[in-house]
A and B are shown apart, each in its own frame.
Chain A
């Protein structure tokens, strides 16, 4: 399973757009990229998943360049409630999720 690298932490202010980039240089052809969000004292929660180009849902957008060696999670107009740890996961046909350190996003007023 491909290893991922993402920033340990990021700071932002309410109303700003936040982009969290994840590196996954060893991604395999069958691997998908999935992002999870975790609030304190809760379990991780699925946000978005993609294979290539761009995916958008009601929560976020996921940008994946052609070489798929990285991906960027974009959160539009963050609020205080978006303060959480965001995990980038890469995997194929397996349910053994491999969590890295994640990125702690701190949103300030």
Chain B
């Protein structure tokens, strides 16, 4: 069974700092990996989607990397801002689940960026 772990569970940084959020998964046979953002009382917003054949994806100040062999992904946030404060979740889809929709989610890292 695929398990997804995100460490740390919470992170507090000063504004302007570059930071890295971590996601690890136990089964390296994945189809893709997504990073989401969740604001309090809101749904999830997809930030970046990395296919299993890709090493990284970039969107603005965000860069996500994927290392399938080691079962790890990182989300790099450059020059953090208070508006980046949210919970960040990663989710993986395993290769044999492409016929359905069985994403396995991590529990997220709650990020606070202090002004």
> Does A associate with B in a complex?
no
By a beta-carbon cutoff of 8 Å, the part of chain B in contact with chain A is none
Chain A interface (Cβ within 8 Å of chain B)? Answer: none
